[in-house]
A and B are shown apart, each in its own frame.
Chain A
Amino acid sequence: MFPVLAFLVGLPVLAAIAIVLIPKSRSELLLPVAFGLSLLPLAVAGYMVWTFDTAGGFQWVESIIWMERLRIGWTVGVDGISLFLVALTAFLFPISILASAKISDRLRGYLVSLFILETGVLGVFIALDLVLFFVFFEIVLIPMFFMIGIWGSSNRKYAAIKFFVYTAFGSAFLLASIIALAVNAGPVLQTVSFQWNDLAQVPMTSAAQTWLFFGFAIAFAIKVPLFPLHTWLPDAHTEAPTAGSVLLAGVLLKMGTYGFIRFNLTLFPEATVKYGKWLALVAVIGIVYAALVATVQPDIKRLVAYSSVSHLGFIVLGTFALTLSSVQGGLIQMVNHGLSTGALFLLIGMIYERTHTRKIADYGGLASTMPIFSGFFLLAVFASIGLPGLNGFIGEFMVLIGSWQTFPVLTVVAASGVVLSAIYVLWAYERVFTGPPGKANKDLEDLNSREIAILVPIAVLIVFLGVYPKPVLDRMENDVNAVISRIEQSTNYERPTFDLEGRLTVDVGVPEQGESPSGEGSE
């Protein structure tokens, strides 16, 4: 069988090598070549989405054990949980490269960083070997560190170091937990193994589960980031170049939420049931807190950064609510957030290139000078606050309706986050776009064709996923269901069911085998 996933992850590496090989005299070729090469992983990802078997399970699995004694190797596979994160990653990179047309300083290094970043992120989402996962999880830091540090704005050094050390701190816990997990499973497996498949079968004492659950959770909570571990994010976002912000919000943060589902929920079911509510609580605090902080930000990029913290709280809440629609909603919300926040950062980058300010107070009346720009901005804003018909609605609605059954109080509080998000972004929109344009903003040019070309694909997806999310949900459903079923089998947890005055009981999850998986609409 053709190693699709090795090919997928290898393509950006080859692209990076190709970029290095372009001679200095032809440096005008760098950007077009990079863009062209970045379309190849997208094509592979498109093929994967297209041919993905909705029955679920890991597909395109490759396993080559490479250090036999520790059972470390190239074990990769894609299931319904990771499929769309892979696709989102492959989708956002060409866009990021297009959005980097204004980078002139050390462009070659910049593009190489981008491609290495793509390799790392793709690797994170496909790795089924814990060491391999960790390797990719950490490798991502290096290009991002350089992107913030070299191509960032004024306070970039501080932000880059803070980003790197903060996340590496979580990674230390992750690595310690991974090693401890493999060593603990040693007696059962008769060998030390870092294979996800092996480890997922080993029963663990609840004490071990607790320790390891929190070891993993710290790393992922920093990455997501969950309140109160979020303080690196606004700095990193604000200082990063546009493409850096887009990718940071679009895919890097998802490495944390993905990690929760792939590792915490699967490997430590007992601890998940026991302590998941605390993480959900922290997530909800983050939703409200970050929304309030976002409201008062004078810097528009910081505002969007805090809105990321708030939105990702929904994903974590949904993840630990452990119902089909909440986890699935969290997953689709990962994609949605990548699109809508990605679009917002792109738009902010475009206006920053024109005005060189990120202060909301410096803007005003852009709607009259830049109508196309404000149109796209409004679409992204609406997607972000979850206007029905756009993608954000699907995700947040599913999270809220699913979490209601597990954590009713928390869900009510979380729902206020939806309202708050409407307040802060619409207020920001009002200050930036409405009213008479100030002196400085009178002569701004509207978007050019390149910028429109960047935004159109995102806009199309925003609308498409809002209207017709079924293809995405179908592909996720069985695997999400499998995760929750695993928890039900290994603990006394049962997913809640609707009980409408005793007349009828509908399982929110997929019913028995054989019946057609019906998705959300049927309840």
Chain B
Amino acid sequence: MGNIAFLPIGLEVGLLVGALGILMAAVMRGCRTRDWAIIAGTAIGFGFVVSVRQWVVVGDIGPQLAYGTKGIDGSAVANQMVAMDKFGALGGMILMIVVGLVLIGSWQMITDLGTRGAEYVALILLSVAGMHMMIVSANLVMLFIGLETASLALYVIAGFLRDRRGSDESAMKYFLMGSFASALFIYGVALVFAATGSTSLYGPTSIGMFLGGNVMPDPGILLIGIALILVGLAFKMSAAPFHQWAPDVYQGASTGAVAFMSTGVKVAAVAAMVRVMYLGFFQFYDDWSMAVALIAALSILVGTATAIAQSDIKRMLAYSGVAHAGFLLVAVLAARVSLDSMWFYLATYAVSLVGMLTIVGVVAGVNSGPVSIDSFRGLGKKSPMLSVAIAVFMFSMAGIPGTSGFIAKLVVFTAADLNGFRWLVVLALLASVAGLFFYLRIIVVAFFDDTDAEETPSTPTGPRIAIGFAVAVTVLLGLWPTLLLDFAREALPHL
């Protein structure tokens, strides 16, 4: 193991060092925002390189577990905390790309914040480190630490624009509800420990080993534990009925923060859910898969139905995010048949959503709270390129062919159908059509309405890069999906 000593957590270490570096740079004289950008860029780039390195190393020597405790005889290593596998490596790459796009797209706001901008960047780096920890954790306790690291930073990010009224509400709501969900999660872990004597996902003393070796005549406590863990993760990905916080938080937080929290957390929570549920509780697949299917169905229905009624883009995207959380839960079920479909959905949705929110930031200002749909009025004439990008993202989220969103839905639904959830697939497809109402509405406002306003929103370079990248990815993967699918097929968790 010597040569990979730090590799399994290299990404986290890099991001933490970067975060501390930025905080120190901010109090040094003569340091400007550009220097923070360099530090943050280096940290994120380093994280990406580490993920690639992990991918390569895992390809050579197979998936590894790390950081365990020695057994009594001093030789056997048990209770390992972190898994290094292609699952975590791909998760790391996606997170790095997403966080990179978010920072590039909302850098304007960071500059506007002055010294506090450094804190904001540092918090985002800390948070993303926590998210990646969720994906790679090999132990439920470790997962909880990752969850809390990610969440605590997010609570602050949500309320970062403290001179704005909605911001406090946003942060407070997120914090109260989020800590409640965290408490439920850790209570679930405790119950699982009570039932199985383990919190570990791997090794001879793991939950799976215990469940495989023992018949539980009365698994009540375990099932409640599983349910609470599910609730905790479902809350983080804003699946119904645990989604109530999302619209208010999105509306109150700055657009860049929304882009980050709506994508990064979903990636982390979905990936963590797949690892925990399949590896920890596979013996109870029948029980939890039905629960996941029901949460998915409810999320899709509630998210879609409520999004139709919204007139604020951020709220609309929040509810559409609820619906997408439902689709992602379908992907969790589909992951039993094809894990690559889940990765494809996660990656493409995250990129499209970051692109869309970056546009919202450009049109309505990065610091903006509520953003009425009317602010897109007549954009098709004022800045055609931006409007085409909007159309691409909206069609992608709606699942129209030619975009990555369609392929994502196709592969996920095919896999879910193969896995026996045909009713869910039909429901999801019909809900996608209902979803067209609000995705199309933005296009209609942008393209079909004229406006009197003369000013043309000019797109600064940062957002331009982020949006351009997101459009390119969305279209490219829509036309050539095997690029990612073939790659993601190898991204299996350590078994």
Contacts and interface: CB of A to CB of B under 8 A. Distances in A.
B448 A169 contact: no
B481 interface: yes
A131 B448 contact: no
A183 B417 CA distance: 7
A138 B444 contact: no
Contacts of B449: 157
B7 interface: no
B349 interface: no
Interface string B373-384: 000000011001
Given A164-B436, A168-B433, A186-B418, A176 B426 contact: yes
B416 to A, nearest CB: 9
A168 B436 contact: yes
A131 B413 CA distance: 13
Given A70-B411, A182-B414, A176 B425 contact: yes
B485 interface: yes
A461 interface: no
Contacts of A168: 400, 433, 436
A142 B432 contact: no
B410 interface: yes
A161 B402 contact: no
Interface in B479-495: 481-482, 485
Nearest to A175: B429
Nearest to B409: A175
Contact of A192 (B418, B429, B482): B418
Contact of B432 (A67, A134, A172): A172
Contacts of B395: 142
Contacts of B433: 165, 168-169, 171-172
Contacts of B418: 183, 186, 192
Contacts of A192: 414, 418
Contacts of A171: 433
B281 interface: no
B55 interface: no
Contacts of B32: none
Interface in A86-140: 106, 109, 131, 134-136, 138-139
Nearest to B380: A150
A139 B418 CA distance: 26
B233 to A, nearest CB: 27
Interface in B399-427: 400-402, 406, 410-411, 413-414, 417-418, 422, 425-426
Interface in A257-309: none
A385 interface: no
What DSSP secondary structure best describes chain A's contact surface?
helix
B395 to A, nearest CB: 7
A172 B430 contact: yes
Given A135-B402, A142-B402, A164-B436, A179 B417 contact: yes
A63 to B, nearest CB: 16
A198 B485 CA distance: 23
B447 interface: yes
Contacts of A106: 381
A134 B411 CA distance: 14
Contact of A135 (B401, B417, B429, B440): B401
A9 B101 CA distance: 35
A136 B401 CA distance: 8
A168 B481 CA distance: 22
B210 interface: no
A146 interface: yes
Nearest to B430: A172
B414 A139 contact: no
A180 interface: yes
Contact of A165 (B381, B422, B437, B481): B437
B297 to A, nearest CB: 15
A23 to B, nearest CB: 15
A66 B480 CA distance: 9
A329 interface: no
Interface in A161-195: 161, 164-165, 168-169, 171-173, 175-176, 179-180, 182-183, 186, 192
B401 A150 contact: no
A142 B380 CA distance: 15
Of B414, B418, B430, B440, most A-chain CB atoms within 10 Å: B414
B376 to A, nearest CB: 14
A175 B427 CA distance: 12
A237 interface: no
Nearest to A174: B429
A172 B422 contact: no
Contact of B422 (A141, A149, A180): A180
Interface in B429-464: 429-430, 432-433, 436-437, 440-441, 444, 447-449
A160 interface: yes
B448 A138 contact: no
Nearest to B410: A131
Interface in B231-275: none
Nearest to B482: A67
Contacts of B384: 109
Contacts of B400: 138-139, 141-142, 168
A157 B440 CA distance: 10
Contact of B444 (A69, A139, A149): A149
A337 interface: no
A468 B410 CA distance: 46
B482 A160 contact: no
Contacts of B482: 66-67
Contacts of B441: 161
A149 B338 CA distance: 39
Contacts of A134: 401
B117 to A, nearest CB: 39
B447 A146 contact: yes
Of B447, B448, B449, most A-chain CB atoms within 10 Å: B448
Contacts of A169: 430, 433
Contacts of A145: 440
Contact of A179 (B338, B413, B440, B481): B413
B294 to A, nearest CB: 19
A33 B291 CA distance: 58
A156 interface: yes
Contact of A176 (B406, B411, B429, B436): B429
A136 B402 CA distance: 9
Contacts of A135: 401-402, 406
A175 B414 CA distance: 10
A160 to B, nearest CB: 7
A180 B402 contact: no
Contacts of B440: 145, 161, 164-165
Contacts of B436: 164-165, 168
A169 B436 CA distance: 10
A265 B29 CA distance: 77
A145 to B, nearest CB: 8
A183 B448 contact: no
A139 B475 CA distance: 13
B417 A180 contact: yes
Contacts of B381: 106
A165 B308 CA distance: 13
Given A139-B401, A172-B432, A149 B411 contact: no
Interface of B: 338, 380-381, 384, 395, 400-402, 406, 410-411, 413-414, 417-418, 422, 425-426, 429-430, 432-433, 436-437, 440-441, 444, 447-449, 481-482, 485
Given A149-B444, A192-B414, 20 more contacts: A66-B482, A67-B481, A67-B485, A145-B440, A156-B448, A157-B449, A165-B437, A165-B440, A168-B433, A168-B436, A169-B433, A172-B429, A172-B430, A176-B413, A176-B429, A179-B425, A180-B422, A182-B414, A183-B414, A183-B422
18 contacts: A70-B411, A138-B406, A139-B400, A146-B447, A149-B447, A156-B448, A160-B444, A164-B440, A168-B433, A168-B436, A172-B429, A175-B410, A176-B426, A179-B413, A179-B414, A183-B414, A192-B414, A192-B418
| CB-CB nearest 8 A-B residue pairs | A135-B401, A172-B429, A149-B448, A138-B401, A172-B433, A183-B417, A169-B433, A176-B426
